[in-house]
A and B are shown apart, each in its own frame.
Chain A
Amino acid sequence: MLDSETQQSAVNRPASVGGQSVVASLDDIRKTYHMGSLAVEVLHGISLDFFAGDYISIMGPSGCGKSTLMNILGCLDQPSSGKYFLGDQDTSQMEDDQLSTIRGARLGFIFQSYNLIQQLNVLENIEMPLFYQGFSASDSHEIAMGLAQRVGLDDRIDHKPFELSGGQQQRVAIARALAVDPLIILADEPTGNLDSKSGAEILNLFDELHSQGKTLIMVTHSDELAERSQRWVRLRDGRVESDERN
């Protein structure tokens, strides 16, 4: 999907930097919120490239624009200006329906509070993104079964979220995020609601995903969590303060 053939020369988009293929690229992203007559710029021009197989932590104090950036990366929100390429697609001009499609097809979300749907069981929760992508019932079932097994919950597929521990719920959420085999997995404080043991399990899972070549972007303010990643983007006051990798 990011081969040289698909490059669009007309668009100023880096396809690869230093031999690594770019899965997502932010180009001078600005976000302004309007509160009555007052306009507040939260992001003051953020430019970042994310490479395939990256394990990135986005860090910074509260109010630095982490959440806003995360929403834009997740195509849940549109930047006021700038370009955001996801794969080879410029999302900044997309219509609502296109954004829905790209969210469902290209992104996997992992939230702090798991965000599973309470009426649905484990399997149905994992199947949900596939449903919106129009997968057949039998295909969805097969994929979801495989993922439930991979996160070690194949013996609880018909349990409802409230019957599971926090760690188990977060594993369902991870399986759900993997369902469409996304380009990027976005995790927002994934261990924030978990005890240290469950948290460690989730991080082990992330490590495995990383070792398998998945691209992970994690928002956190915990240095301990960030240690596991291999690239650290620090934000301060809506700007990139530092961008390091080991």
Chain B
Amino acid sequence: MSEISLDPPLSANQQPRAAVTRSSFSFTRFRKITEVGLKSIYSHGLRSLLTVLGIVIGVAAVIAMLAVSEGASFEAQQQFRDLGASNILLKSVKPAEVEESSNRGFGPPQAIVYGLTNSDISTIRDTIPGISNVIASRIVKKNVWNLGNSMNTDVVGTSVDYPSSRSYNLRAGRFFSESEVRDHANVVVLSNEVANALFPIDNPLGGSIKIDSDYYNIVGIMESEGYSNLGQNQAGSSNAAPSRIYIPFTSSKSRFGETTTRQTSGGMESETVELHEAIIQVENQEAVIEVGEIIEQIIQRRHKDVDYAIEIPLALLRQAEESALRDSIVAGAIAGISLLVGGIGIMNIMLASVTERTREIGIRRALGAKKKDIITQFLIEAVILSGVGGLIGVVLGVLIPFIISAFWGMTTIVTPVAPILAFSISALIGVIFGIYPSMRAADMDPVEALRHE
């Protein structure tokens, strides 16, 4: 080791070596600086990981929260969409005052009269233009029998357009016909749930069920659907009956009458309701909200008590969309805060890194690095940190909604925008919070930096 030879010998008049080109930016330079950045990050593995954690959590939170709120709003909107965007729902609701008076005194139960009437519906149909159809229904709770199997369910007396108005589909058979409605026929269409409960083994089609003392021929079975609870809160029906059966409106009226009697804890309770529900279909979807307001005015004038409810799915849909937007903004703000915190974490660590590497900065400056070279180096390092954090965050953020869906059955939707947006923001945060430390590094006096211990 004592003998070190220096050959080939240098000539005295050699020109200084000069690069053929000194481009301000090239891929190889970028790669080199990136390599240096990666090395430095890698050499402080744990510290880098902890630094990046803020960004990881922020990005994962953005994506997961947006996925959950997107899923929830999709579900809500789907429910309203199921009700029909060009529909207006009218329902009979037992008014509060009447409920009180019915519990008063002794004697035979007096029938409470409330709710929508046929004349309400014909007035609406006749006075408001742009209504294409009105489907009025009566909903009565009954025990339905097939031999030994019975079930308490909502019997919906309605017209032939009911399935199409709510875009329900039949699984088998058909819906009842116009002539069956005219004839007060004893025909019934079962929901899938009722069909399964009453006919666990044999095919219900062609069979019959018994309601009170009458038999009804089964002509069709509806498709199973997770339909909404909304629009089911009708008078006389249970709150969230998952199953219904459908008979002609005329049959319901002639078999069950308009007055229903019910056993309650206080004795017998009787109520007379002409119609429980009406679906008003509007020709033009844009007019739905306007038509809804007119209907409300008409009904208001015709009813002393508020014994009705009006529901406009489109308006609810709009509300749901608005609240979804609000949810997204709130989720975004929360996630934004955690990204901000993550950014501050990166700035903190970059400042520490700059201080630690003061000597290195001095060396690099002495060896020809310009200020902008130093800025680039530290900026790239900050962006690598936040970018890696963003990447991990994206992976987590896409995984978390999957886990939520798998374990809690919630609908989650990861839109492609969310990961892209979150990742871009994280990279941007690297730039923003990397600028100050980088400038500080570049502004160091080379002499001072070289002297730094």
Known: A131-B32, A133-B22. A115 touches B364 (CB 8 A): no
Closest to B32 in A: A131
Q: State how many residues of chain B have any CB contact under 8 Å with chain A.
A: 46
Q: Mask for B28-42, Cβ within 8 A of A = 1, else 0?
A: 110010001001100
Tell me the bound Cα distance from A1 to B7 in angstroms.
24
Tell me the bound Cα distance from A117 to B363 in angstroms.
8
- Check if A182 is an interface residue, CB within 8 A of chain B: yes
**Are the CB atoms of B19 and A134 closer together than 8 Å?**
yes
Closest to B28 in A: A137
Contacts between chains A and B (CB distance < 8 A), count? 136
Tell me the bound Cα distance from A208 to B9 in angstroms.
9
**Are the CB atoms of A53 and B17 closer together than 8 Å?**
no
- Check if A201 is an interface residue, CB within 8 A of chain B: yes
Known: A150-B6, A181-B17, A212-B10. A104 touches B360 (CB 8 A): no
- Check if A128 is an interface residue, CB within 8 A of chain B: yes
**Are the CB atoms of A131 and B29 closer together than 8 Å?**
yes
CB distance from A94 to the nearest CB of B (A): 12
Known: A115-B363, A131-B29, A133-B22. A104 touches B369 (CB 8 A): yes
Tell me the bound Cα distance from A151 to B7 in angstroms.
9
**Chain B contact residues: helix, strand, loop or mixed:** loop
**Are the CB atoms of A106 and B450 closer together than 8 Å?**
no
**Are the CB atoms of B19 and A101 closer together than 8 Å?**
no
- Check if A48 is an interface residue, CB within 8 A of chain B: no
**Are the CB atoms of A143 and B447 closer together than 8 Å?**
no
Q: Which of B16, B368, B370, B447 has the most CB of A within 10 A?
A: B368
Tell me the bound Cα distance from A206 to B40 in angstroms.
33
Tell me the bound Cα distance from A120 to B364 in angstroms.
12
Chain A residues closer than 8 Å to B28, beta-carbon distance: 136-137
Chain A residues closer than 8 Å to B254, beta-carbon distance: none
Q: Which of B40, B360, B366, B369 has the most CB of A within 10 A?
A: B366
Task: State which residues 1-55 of B face A: CB under 8 Å.
Answer: 1-2, 4-7, 9-23, 26, 28-29, 32, 36, 39-40, 43
Please report B residues at the A interface, Cβ cutoff 8 Å: 1-2, 4-7, 9-23, 26, 28-29, 32, 36, 39-40, 43, 359-360, 362-373, 446-447, 450
Please report A residues at the B interface, Cβ cutoff 8 Å: 1, 52-53, 71, 74, 76-77, 96-97, 100-101, 103-106, 109, 111, 115-120, 128-137, 139, 143, 150-152, 167, 171, 176, 179-183, 197, 201, 204-205, 208-209, 211-214
Closest 6 CB pairs of A and B: A104-B368, A213-B12, A134-B22, A132-B368, A212-B10, A134-B19
